[in-house]
């Protein structure tokens, strides 16, 4: 306990550029999370629609795809993609990545990192979406079909607006998991917050900021952990806020007088 | 196929390491998770807050960061912790937060009347929880506990990827890969090893669920 609380072991936080170095690296994690989430949501929706599609080949293919990527450990997927991607792909990205991206996102391994995150999370989200869509009463779709709406119109105007709303909690909790999982790309040498923390805790202090003060790895990692706890706690609060607003909305809709209860004219 | 048959020993020992790691971490997670769930449903407000703090902390921190805290972190601080203990503690702590949340919702699903009836029969707070509420809660949470276990099996790969001294399935796959350069085969068979474990867990929890199903 003395070691943990010793102010000398926390001195690195306020020394030189250490704090900024770590926070900028944390921003990389958030950027990776946002990019991967956007792609995973889109791919997940396509996979979910595929898994409930009428034609058997599409349905079976989508289900098999989802089952494979949902059941593989994410770190195994990321490592495999990093180790197996051909030299040409790596060089293509590090040579042609747009210049406005931060260095970490121009790394030759970033495609493998983001690719792994997207493949895994889209499979998980596809299951969430599928459950949300199937939880809607069949009658909704049948009614839409009876009104003459095409498949795409049924999905776009009737099924998805109702189904997607029910999936907010599960989707947000997956977003939190994804945010935590961005640290896994440190294993394939992408300079994000865990890797930067390890640099900071190197025996010589921080070569990037030229700091002479050594940072104990225990303290650095507790600090990094705190960053994630704060960010993810904020996310889960946001989700709860959305949920209560949603249930209130549904409650108002329900309490509106129904036709059968309207007073006789 | 040759990659598997030539390196069967490596994959088997990796599978055994992963199995022991997951088994021990599961015990830690269930014991800690039950204690924290008890805090979360207790009558005392400070205890409830403490439980909430625990859950929010360990559910929101990346497992990789926890591993760096328990292994190099504690060692540098003079705690003589070995790779096994560090891996089990980190994976167990991380998973315990999820177990606690599931148990709490299970307890909430047991109707209040059960608890009130127990109290009016003269049972104490702890006895009501232990003899009346928890046995019923455990039944409703077998399914969710199964999903947590499967997630834990997959998460265990992070332990081998970060703690150099633990040779789990993923670690053995990387060894085989660097020896044979058959990346796809090596990782494919590693994925199969994990699938074996998750399928076994799924079957076990399905069995438990069928056995303890509440018939009304």
pLDDT tens, residue by residue, B104-141: 999 888 888 998 999 999 998 889 988 888 888 888 89
Contact A177, A228 (CB under 8 A): no
Total structural domains within chain A: 1
Residues of A with CB under 8 A from a CB of B: 3-4, 71-76, 79-80, 83-84, 176, 180-181, 183-184, 186-187, 194, 197-198, 216-218, 221-222, 224-225, 228-229, 231-233, 236
Is the CA virtual torsion B54, B57, B61, B65 positive or negative?
Answer: negative
Q: What's the DSSP call for residue A211?
A: B
| Mean of all residue pLDDT scores within chain A | 86
The beta-carbon neighbor of A224 closest among B57, B65, B174 is B65
| CB spacing of B68 vs A84 below 8 angstroms | no
- Among the ranges given (A16-25, A78-87, A198-207), the one the predictor scored with the smallest mean pLDDT: A198-207
CATH code (residue A57) = 1.10.3720.10
Angle in degrees, CA B211, B215, B216, rounded to 5: 165
Contact A248, A165 (CB under 8 A): no
Taking the CA of residue A83 and the nearest CA in chain B, the distance in Å comes to 7
The answer regarding whether domain B18-166 maps to CATH 1.10.3720.10 reads: yes
Nearest Cα to Cα of residue B86 among B77, A199, B191: B77
Q: Hey, where are the domains in chain B?
A: 18-166
pLDDT tens, residue by residue, A146-201: 999 988 888 888 888 888 778 888 888 899 999 999 999 999 989 999 999 988 88
B78 Rama class: left (phi>0) / alpha (psi -120 to 50) / beta: left
Two tokens, residue B102: 């599931």
Taking the CA of residue A4 and the nearest CA in chain B, the distance in Å comes to 8
User: What residues make up the domain containing A167?
Assistant: 2-254
Q: What pLDDT sits at residue B99?
A: 95
- The whole-angstrom separation of Cα A18 and Cα A212 is 11
- The whole-angstrom separation of Cα A48 and Cα A43 is 9
- In the predicted structure, residue A261 carries a pLDDT above the cut 50: no
Asked whether residue A20 is assigned to any structural domain, the reply reads yes
Asked whether residue A117 is assigned to any structural domain, the reply reads yes
- In the predicted structure, residue A256 carries a pLDDT above the cut 60: no
List, in sequence order, the alpha helices (H) in chain A: 2-5, 18-51, 56-70, 74-84, 87-96, 110-134, 138-146, 151-153, 160-166, 168-181, 193-200, 217-255
Residue numbers in A near B171 (CB within 8 A): none
pLDDT tens, residue by residue, A40-62: 999 999 999 999 888 999 999 99
Higher pLDDT, B36 or A89: B36
| CB spacing of A83 vs B60 below 8 angstroms | no
Asked whether residue A263 is assigned to any structural domain, the reply reads no
Nearest Cα to Cα of residue B115 among B211, B198, B14, B41: B41
Q: Pick the residue from chain A with its C-alpha nearest to B160.
A: A75
Confidence of residue B13 (pLDDT cuts 50, 70, 90): very high
Dihedral angle over CA of B68, B74, B78, B82, nearest 10: -80
Is the CA virtual torsion A178, A181, A183, A187 positive or negative?
Answer: negative
pLDDT tens, residue by residue, B148-180: 999 999 999 999 888 878 899 999 999 999 888
Q: What pLDDT sits at residue A8?
A: 80
Confidence of residue B7 (pLDDT cuts 50, 70, 90): confident
Taking the CA of residue A111 and the nearest CA in chain B, the distance in Å comes to 18
- The whole-angstrom separation of Cα B70 and Cα A221 is 10
Q: What pLDDT sits at residue A250?
A: 66
| CB spacing of A76 vs B190 below 8 angstroms | yes
Contact A220, A140 (CB under 8 A): no
Taking the CA of residue A217 and the nearest CA in chain B, the distance in Å comes to 5
């Amino acid at each position: 306990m003395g070691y943990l609380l010793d102010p000398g072991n926390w001195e690195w936080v306020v020394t030189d550029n250490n704090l900024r170095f770590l926070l900028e690296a944390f921003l990389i994690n958030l950027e990776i999370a946002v990019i991967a989430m956007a792609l995973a949501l889109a791919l997940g929706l396509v996979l979910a629609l595929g898994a409930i599609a009428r034609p058997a080949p599409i349905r079976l293919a989508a289900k098999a795809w989802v089952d494979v990527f949902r059941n593989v450990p994410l770190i195994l997927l990321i490592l495999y993609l990093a180790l197996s991607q051909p030299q040409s792909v790596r060089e293509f990205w590090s040579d042609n990545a747009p210049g406005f991206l931060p260095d970490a996102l121009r790394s030759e391994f970033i495609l493998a990192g983001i690719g792994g995150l997207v493949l895994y999370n889209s499979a998980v989200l596809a299951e969430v979406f599928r459950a949300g869509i199937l939880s809607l009463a069949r009658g909704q779709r049948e009614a839409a079909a009876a009104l003459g709406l095409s498949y795409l119109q049924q999905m776009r105007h009737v099924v998805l607006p109702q189904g997607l709303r029910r999936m907010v909690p599960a989707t947000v909790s997956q977003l939190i998991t994804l945010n935590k999982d961005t640290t896994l790309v440190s294993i394939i040498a992408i300079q994000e917050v865990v890797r930067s923390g390890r640099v900071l805790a190197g025996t010589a202090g921080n070569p990037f900021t030229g700091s002479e003060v050594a940072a104990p790895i225990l303290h650095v990692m507790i600090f990094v952990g705190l960053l994630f706890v704060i960010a993810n706690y904020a996310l889960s609060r946001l989700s709860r806020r959305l949920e209560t607003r949603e249930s209130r909305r549904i409650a108002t809709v329900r309490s509106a007088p129904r036709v059968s209860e309207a007073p006789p004219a | 196929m040759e990659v598997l048959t030539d390196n069967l020993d490596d994959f088997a020992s990796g599978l055994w390491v992963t199995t022991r790691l997951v088994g021990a971490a599961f015990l830690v997670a269930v014991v800690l998770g039950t204690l924290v769930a008890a805090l979360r449903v207790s009558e005392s407000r400070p205890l409830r807050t403490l439980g909430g703090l625990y859950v929010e902390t360990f559910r929101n921190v990346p497992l990789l960061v926890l591993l760096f805290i328990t292994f190099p972190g504690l060692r540098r601080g003079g705690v003589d912790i070995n790779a096994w203990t560090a891996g089990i503690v980190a994976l167990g702590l991380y998973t315990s937060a999820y177990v606690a949340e599931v148990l709490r919702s299970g307890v909430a699903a047991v109707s209040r009347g059960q608890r009130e009836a127990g109290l009016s029969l003269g049972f104490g707070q702890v006895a009501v929880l232990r003899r009346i509420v928890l046995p019923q809660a455990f039944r409703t949470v077998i399914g969710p506990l199964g999903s947590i276990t499967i997630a834990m099996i997959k998460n265990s790969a992070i332990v081998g990827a970060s703690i150099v001294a633990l040779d789990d399935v993923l670690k053995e796959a990387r060894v085989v890969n660097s020896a044979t350069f058959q990346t796809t085969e090596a990782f494919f068979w590693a994925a199969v090893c994990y699938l074996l474990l998750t399928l076994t867990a799924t079957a076990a929890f399905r069995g438990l669920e069928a056995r303890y199903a509440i018939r009304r």
